[in-house]
Amino acid sequence: MQITVERDGSLTMTAPPTCQRDQLERFARAKRLWVYEKLALKDELPPSVKREFVSGEGFPYLGRSYRLQLVRGERAPLRLEAGRFKLPRAQARAGEQLFTGWYVEHAQVWLEARVAMWAERLGVSPASVTVRDQGYRWASCAAGGRLYFHWRVIQLPPRLIDYVIVHELVHLTHDDHSPAFWRAMARVLPDCDSRRELLRRLGAQL
């Protein structure tokens, strides 16, 4: 049995289908203090940043912030050029959709290469890498070794993206968050605890 505190503050309980209701209730009551502690930590996090599609606004990519410049033109694609995101002024209203598409496209290429590197080091073989909207999750590992990453992952610094990648690759051999899972994580990334804490804080803003 396991309880997860989601990023929106809701709780998700997972348990084998054979568990009885009284077992679930006892487990939930036993976890109350842990849940309160996690919710308190969440309350300390900075609020998310609401970005506007105007010249001068900063947009993150691989841990750095790049200013947006609205330029003349009608149909030119969004591009990162000379240290700035450039977007035709006429397409500013579609900015959110265009940026999401840009992030998805670039994350797919970047993550495929990075996953391949880490998979070789760990001696595992994921079946596929897909970038999509993962809701409140950075990534997930599905049946058959299929890895799914949130498109916002590409906004993080590379060392935190590596943490997310390794986390999912370790799930190919440890399908829960047992002590064995965290020992495996620490063998690959000895500073995984500090990376996880930084991801928690920085991720809240994204």
- Please report whether residue 161 resides in a domain: yes
Tell whether 183 is covered by a domain. Answer: yes
Structure-token match 């690759």, residue found:
169
What are the CA-CA distances from residue 135 to residues 7, 30, 138 (Å)? 9, 28, 8
- Both 133 and 196 in one domain: the answer is yes
Please state the domain count of the chain. Answer: 2
Which amino acid makes up residue 38?
Answer: K
The answer to the question of residue 76 being in a domain is no
Q: Does residue 164 belong to any structural domain of this protein?
A: yes
Take residue 112 and report the two structure tokens written for it. 């495929």
Burial (CB count <10 Å: 0-12, 13-18, 19+), residue 85: buried
Residue 89 maps to a domain: no
Residue 158 is assigned to a structural domain of this protein: yes
Instruction: Give the pLDDT confidence score for residue 35 in this predicted structure.
Output: 87
Residue type present at position 5: V
Pair (39, 99) in one structural domain: no
pLDDT tens digits, one per residue of 97-118:
999 999 999 999 999 999 999 9
As given in the structure block, the two tokens for residue 55 are 């010249």
pTM over 0.85: no
Look up the domain containing 17 and give its range: 2-43
> Are 9 and 99 in the same domain?
no
CB 188 within 8 Å of CB 166 = yes
Same domain membership, residue 127 and residue 27: no
In the prediction, which pLDDT does 154 show? 97
Three-state SS letters, 123-169:
CCCCCEEEEECCCCCCEEEECCCEEEEEHHHHHCCHHHHHHHHHHHH
Question: Which CATH number do you get for residue 129?
Answer: 3.30.2010.10
Q: What does the pLDDT look like over 117-158, one tens digit per residue?
A: 999 999 999 999 999 998 878 999 998 999 999 999 999 999
The pLDDT assigned to 153 comes to 97
User: Is 149 among the domain residues?
Assistant: yes
pLDDT at residue 48 greater than cutoff 70: no
**Is 77 a member of any domain?**
no
**Cβ distance 68 to 57 under 8 Å?**
yes
In the prediction, which pLDDT does 38 show? Answer: 80
User: What whole-number distance in Å separates Cα of residue 141 and Cα of residue 171?
Assistant: 7
Bridge partners, residue 13, by sequence: 3
189 and 114, same domain (yes or no): yes
pLDDT digits over 149-202, tens only? Answer: 999 999 999 999 999 999 999 999 998 888 999 999 999 999 999 999 999 888
**How many alpha carbons fall within 13 Å on the CB side of residue 30?**
10
Determine the Cα–Cα distance for residues 199 and 139; give it in Å rounded to an integer: 13
Span 17-22, average pLDDT = 92
Which amino acid belongs to residue 89? Answer: R
